[in-house]
Structure 1
Amino acid sequence: MTNQKTIAVLPFVNISNTIDNEYFCDGITEEIINALAKIKDLLVTSRTSSFYFKNKKVTSHAIREKLNVATFIEGSVRVSRNKMRITVQMIDAENDFHFWSETFDRQVGDIFAVQDEISLFIAERLREYIGHIEIEDKLVEPLDVPVAIYREYLKGRYFLMKLGYDNTCKAIEIFEDIIKKAPNFPNSYLDINQGYTYMGTMGLLPAFEAYKKAQPYLQKALELDPYSSRSQLNLSWIECWQNWNLKKAYEHANNALEMQPTDDIYLTISNFLTVEGKLDAARNYLDKALQLDPYAAINHHYKGFLYYLKEEYDSAIPYLKKALDLDPMLPFPPIYLGISLLMLGKSNEALAYFGSLKGISVIDLTKLGGETMCYAKLNETEKCNDGLKELETYLTTALVDKALTFLILVNALLGNNEKVVDLIEQAYNSRLPLILILNPSPILKPIKNHKRFKEIMLRAIPDNNNYKFSKKYKQSLLSDVEINRYSTDLEQIMMDYKLYLNPDLSLKDLASYLELPANYVSQLLNQGFQKNFAEYINIYRVEEFKDRIILEENSELTIMAVAYDSGFNSKTVFNTFFKKIEGITPNTYLKNSKAN
């Protein structure tokens, strides 16, 4: 059964007269996703998976099945000069009915306030149907830049998220221009850092060159805003992969998770746990990342990688193939897909696979390294030695990390244990990140107890068993005594004022009668009555309907007329809740009542 506290925000549709506003729509969607992701108990589908459905016609059933969410948001944006109209609707993915639809007519200059207003509106109305979630007073902080620059920034984000070399370069160019106009705006620096890091990781630029270009922008962003979720996440990467300090890496990742629990943070924590060899815990965090972003290629790759590390090669291969289906240019899956075939004893099949690689996998040595591993397994000594010699030529280039990785793996397959440890020491002395993923490698099992290997691993990754995650939870807003007292008060208010007859009644309205914040009343309904707002109110409405429908004075009215008089404002909602509560349809109930 789908978790009710799950939601996806599909890309808002641009219905403006100009295609240039496409990036504006994407930016609003992304900001609402980020805002809702700050709500601790709400599982929000990440951007990658939500935008998988951009410009696609899709049913509620498909959204539920593919994203595993109970609810989703659709919207549209029309911009005309300085005015914008944003229409938002919330849809029950399981029963395919609209909870509500709302239109916001606002000035473009109020974009930050509008994003916060819409995010809060969605969160508060969602809470009325799914039960208690704690909502902060503000979900979107206004950025300290003029709206004109912010619109340029959204244009840069639009190109950055389209990926590819040309789009990323275009995005960096836009962000560079924004930095000239707004040098204290940290987001532009973070996004340039992201752009260069992406190109280095994907082989679109030499990794060493790309990371060197990225570093100053990250440092400037951290100077301007060290405490944002993205800054904390970047700091966690630096502490792990550059400083080899897992304790601090976990601390920064935990800080980011507290601010905004997103899939890339769960993936990052999974990475750190993998470094420690805690593969079951790593898979738990990775599954969380996949739940939030099931269409992210990197998440599927890492699931396959974890199966590979656990030597479950048959299970690894489908995930690695899925990753390549989603992103054929992702450089990591081909390595472990080919090695998984090799470790399954399918050496010739693995050789054919590595030989078929084109493009990025040729540039990053995967084809050469993979074939050399296969020759080692097939005892084709001459071809293997030729491959080793060619790999060694890359030890003085920007591809030293990948060259050393394959040299280590090939020599391990050949049983050259002392040579393997020499190469690992070379990697350690050069502070190469590959050191951190050697410990759990199944191919290196024969040297796990080698004295020098253990010494290197201990220097690189000290015992971190004490670095456990401890998620911080706030104390309950209301005590048990207060819940009992306010439950009694609420029941009396409902009897006295019959608030449920108001079809537009909201959780905030109910809270005003109790003189409590909405967060408290949400918890009160959840713990005191084991119901969400919609269930609590609609039970009263159903009882009201049952009382009214048998009255002689209402005999000429239709069922829906009586339902509307009882406080319902939707036929679908009425029928759904009535059957859920009574177990039969309203028509059947009426027939039974007349028969009696």
Structure 2
Amino acid sequence: MGSENLNNKSIAVLPFQNMSNSLENEFFCDGLTEEIINALAKIKDLAVTSRTSSFYFKNKAVTAKEIREKLKVATFIEGSVRRSRNKMRITVQMIDTIDDFHFWSETFDRKPDDIFQIQDEIGLFIAEKLREHIGHLEIENKLVEPIDVPVAIYREYLKGRYYIMKLDYKNSIKGIKILKDVIHKSPNFSNPYLDINLAYVNMGTMGLLPAFEAYEKAQPYLLKALELDPNSSRSQLNLAWIECWQNWNLKKAYEHANRALEIQQADDIYLTISNFLTVEGKLDAAHNYLDKALQLDPYAAINHHYRGFLYYLQEDYTTAIPYLKKALDLDPKLPFPPIYIGISLLMSGKPNEALTYFGSLEGVSVKDLTKLGGETMCYAYLNEAEKCNDGIKELETYLTTALVDKAFTFLILVNALLDNCEKVIDLVEQAYNNRLPLVLLLNPSPILKHVKHHKRFKDIMLKAIPDNVNYKQKKKYKQALLDSDEIERYTKELEQIMLDYKLYLNPDLSLKDLASYLELPANYVSQLLNLGFQKNFSEYVNTFRVNEFKERILQEESKELTIMAVAYDSGFNSKTVFNTFFKKLEGITPNTYLKSHLEN
């Protein structure tokens, strides 16, 4: 890959190498790596590779060229930690992947008890050296906030997190036990609550525990974490999930997800917004956000799965399958890809191949009904009535178990393939009445296409998702310009979208992104901005950003921030653009504006 396509403000932090024999030092190495990733992710305009992809290279010897090609970054950090009883030596190197040279190396000799200071110091040092090398970055005075717990307890916390991030059942349970002990000693420390919640949710999602049981166990830990620290990026992301999947309030879900994104850019936040857009049927916009998730975490199995899932929803089955298989290559225990590999084979007219595939499944896919449900779908497609009915009866036995979600999903899909529309709608209604999250993903399902015109089905979907694009009139595009009625309608719709989703807070927002939200071609939206607002794309979006800045700069929490920090928080990614556009719009500089309002 040539350097011309590489974002020069992009960096990966490879896992720090443990140079001691102590396993405890291993916990610290992983914790230090994560903290530096999180610290650098707070810097506006800096694309930081997420944890999953960084840790993919743990204990692997790699060259600068491999990092450039596989992670698509211009710079990476590698380091090591050597620890004795009362001394710790941390060596950090920064490597340019384009020209393959070490342009900075530093050794830090510190006491092991200075753990929080070390994390912040190294994070800031890296940021400063990076700025010297690649150009201006807006850096806060602190990147890592010290945690108000004794160092010994924080070390225990790192140990617990080390085990849960291994993502298997045995280590997750071991990690939860350690973290519960940490909570007992420091009940006001929010991190272990969030991590226990994460461990249970992961086990439920991956089929290592029944989903209902896992989420029920996770819930109280999440609620406590939110009570202790509602404003962290992780807390906001969890609130977004609750608002979407439990409360079915997409407007609030977007608000929390966008707030999480303001605090820290991370692939799972982009993936979450992609999920929400999928629920609404805005699949082009979902692809755009997933692009950003994959840029930050190209080795996250779930990101590749979701790319395949989106292509499946768009009925592009042959494109979907390689992404789904790539996800399984990265994480063979991920439970979702086998469902859609099999269904994609089925829906592309290969029922016998799909039946063989589902029949060959083992492990998680058997326990979570993928094998049973998939085979029953194949029998429905092949008109093998007796085998299909046997499968339906067996699936129905799971409706009163922890696998109720999966049982309903497969029963709905099987009956749709059998063309039992009334039965499908009865099942959807039952799922809706039980507030099962699966209802939200029935909305864009290609297998339910012929059920979607039924009034009962529409009513249920519109109750669950009031602004459901699947039930708006499909737009037919003509070569002529938009007429005055269309311009009026779309200008109102675009204004509402900008306010609801706060798209302008994304510094990388493009005309293509706007177009995907409106479900219009990009050239139509460009024309709409010119005719409806008398603005080009930059002028239109930056007007929102200036208004956001004017609102934020006068708030109490902005008093400790620089003008540019607030400008970046408002969606700008350039000091020159901000100053120029602000003066053009307001007739005065941002500094004069602030002073005049403070004097009043």
Distance 1:525 1:258, change over 3 A: closer
Q: Show the counterpart of 2:551.
A: none
Q: Is 1:470 the equivalent of 2:474?
A: no
Matching residue's letter, 1:122:
I
The code of the aligned residue for 2:168 comes to G
- Shift of residue 16 of structure 1? 1.8
In the alignment, is the contact (CA less than 8 A) between 1:134 and 1:519 conserved in 2? Answer: yes
Q: Specify the SS of the correspondent of 1:396.
A: coil
Residue 97 of structure 1 pairs with residue 101 of structure 2: yes
Letter in 1 for 2:244: C
Unpaired runs of at least 5, structure 1: 475-515, 529-596
SS of 1:394 mapped into structure 2? coil
Query: Which letter does structure 2 place at the counterpart of 1:359?
Result: G
SS of the residue 1:145 aligns to: coil
Partner of 2:368: 364
Q: Distance in 2 between matches of 1:123 and 1:172?
A: 33
**Displacement of 1:113:** 1.2
The structure whose Rg is larger is: 1
Q: 1:471 Cα deviation (Å)? A: 3.7
Answer yes or no: is the 8 Å Cα contact 1:10–1:53 preserved in 2: yes
Aligned pair partner of 2:431 in 409, 427, 430: 427
Which residue number in structure 2 is paired with residue 167 of structure 1?
Answer: 171
The question of 1:85 aligning with 2:102 is answered no
Equivalent residue, structure 2, for 1:150:
154
State the SS of the aligned residue for 1:162. Answer: coil
State the partner residue of 1:65.
69
SS of residue in 2 equivalent to 1:231: helix
- When residues 164 and 525 of structure 1 are mapped into structure 2, their CA distance, relative to the original with a 3 A threshold, is closer
Amino acid aligned to 1:57: A
| DSSP 3-state at the match of 2:505 | coil
Which residue is equivalent to 2:543? none
Output the CA distance in 2 between the equivalents of 1:519 and 1:57.
38
> Which residue of structure 2 lines up, in the alignment, with residue 394 of structure 1?
398
* Corresponding residue number in structure 1 for 2:27: 23
Task: Say if 1:517 and 1:244 are closer, same or farther in 2 by CA, change over 3 A.
Answer: closer
* Shift in alpha-carbon separation, 1:75–1:378, aligned structure 2, 3 A: same
Say whether the 8 Å CA contact 1:73–1:90 is kept in structure 2: yes
Counterpart residue identity of residue 503, structure 2 = S
| Whole-angstrom distance in 2 between the partners of 1:370 and 1:519 | 52
User: Structure 1 residues 517 and 278, CA, compared in 2 at 3 Å: closer, same or farther?
Assistant: closer
* Aligned residues of 1:61 and 1:93 also touching (Cα < 8 A): yes
Q: How much has 1:163 moved relative to structure 2?
A: 1.2
CA shift digits 1:25-52 (9 cap, x unpaired): 0100010001001112110000110010
Q: SS in structure 2 opposite 1:87?
A: strand
**Distance 1:517-1:396 versus aligned 2 partners, 3 A rule:** closer
1:24–1:455 Cα change, 3 Å: same
Taking a change above 3 Å as real, the CA distance of residues 86 and 426 of structure 1, as seen in their structure-2 partners, is same
* 1:388 Cα deviation from its structure 2 partner: 0.6
Aligned to 1:265: 269
Question: Which of these residues, 310, 317, 320, is aligned with residue 313 of structure 1?
Answer: 317
Q: 1:20 Cα deviation (Å)?
A: 2.9
Q: 1:200–1:207: 8 Å Cα contact kept in structure 2? A: yes
1:253 and 2:257 equivalent? yes
Aligned partner letter, 1:246: L
Contact 1:357 1:367 in 2 (8 A): yes
Q: Percent identity?
A: 77
Contact 2:398–2:404 at 8 Å: present in 1 too?
A: yes
Counterparts of 1:39-438 in structure 2, within 5 Å, are 39-438=43-442
1:62-84 CA-partner distances (Å, limit 9, x unpaired): 01001000000010111111321
Higher relative contact order by CA 8 Å / sep ≥ 6: 1 or 2? Answer: 1
Measured after TM superposition, the shift of residue 469 of structure 1 is 3.2
Contact 1:131 1:526 in 2 (8 A): no
SS of match in other structure, 2:146: coil
Distance 1:148 1:296, change over 3 A: same
**CA distance in 2: counterparts of 1:524 and 1:261, whole angstroms:** 14
SS in 1 for 2:93: strand
**8 Å CA contact retained: 1:89, 1:100:** yes
**Distance (whole Å) between structure 1 residues aligned to residue 306 and residue 95 of structure 2:** 32
Deviation at 1:134, TM superposition (A): 1.1
Q: Is the 8 A contact 2:440 2:465 kept in 1?
A: yes
Q: Is the 8 A contact 1:132 1:519 kept in 2?
A: no
Q: Distance in 1 between matches of 2:277 and 2:564?
A: 38
How far apart are residue 524 of structure 1 and its match? 13
- Return the offset for 1:473: 7.6
Write the distance in 1 (CA, Å) between the matches of 2:573 and 2:255.
Answer: 33
8 Å Cα contact 2:255-2:501 kept in structure 1: no
Question: Shift of the alpha carbon at 1:19?
Answer: 3.2
Give the TM-score of the pair, scaled to structure 1: 0.79
Structure 1 residue 448 corresponds to structure 2 residue 481: no
Stretches (4+) displaced over 4 A: 516-520, 523-528
> How does the TM-score come out when normalised to structure 2?
0.79
Deviations 1:166-202 (A, max 9, x none): 0100110000000110000011111111111111111
* Code of the aligned partner of 1:5: K
How many residues are treated as equivalent by the alignment?
A: 486
What is residue 576 of structure 1 aligned with on the other side?
none
**Residue type at the aligned position of 2:351:** S
Distance in structure 1 (CA, Å) of the matches to 2:19 and 2:232: 33
CA distance in 2, matches of 1:518, 1:258: 14
Quick check: 2:52–2:299 contact (8 Å CA) kept in 1? yes
Shift of 1:211: 0.8
CA distance change for structure 1 residues 364 and 89 in 2, over 3 Å: closer, same or farther? same
- Paired with 2:422 and 2:43, the residues of 1 have a C-alpha distance of 52
Residue matched to 1:506 = none
The DSSP-based 3-state class of the residue aligned with 1:88 is: strand
Paired residue type of 2:249: N
Q: Distance in 2 between matches of 1:353 and 1:434?
A: 24
Shift of 1:380: 0.7
**Which structure 2 residue ranges, 5 or more long, are not aligned?**
469-495, 508-561, 567-571, 578-600
CA offsets 1:442-499 (integer angstroms, 9 cap, x no match): 000001111001100111011177432334389xxxxxxxxxxxxxxxxxxxxxxxxx
Q: Is the Cα–Cα contact under 8 Å of residues 41 and 133 in structure 1 kept in the other structure? A: yes
Task: Give 1:337 shift.
Answer: 0.4
Secondary structure of residue in 2 paired with 1:322: helix
**Counterpart residue type for residue 119 of structure 1:** G
Cα pair 2:230 2:236 within 8 Å, conserved: yes
Matched residue of 1:436: which SS? helix
Whether 2:415 is the aligned partner of 1:439: answer: no
Give, in angstroms, the shift of residue 526 of structure 1.
Answer: 8.5
Distance 1:186 1:524, change over 3 A: closer
- CA distance 1:340–1:525, change in 2 (3 Å): closer
Rounded to whole Å, the distance in 1 between the matches of 2:415 and 2:23 is 55
Is the CA contact (8 Å cut-off) linking 2:564 and 2:575 kept in structure 1? no
Question: Structure 1 residues 89 and 378, CA, compared in 2 at 3 Å: closer, same or farther?
Answer: same
CA distance in 2, matches of 1:242, 1:473: 26
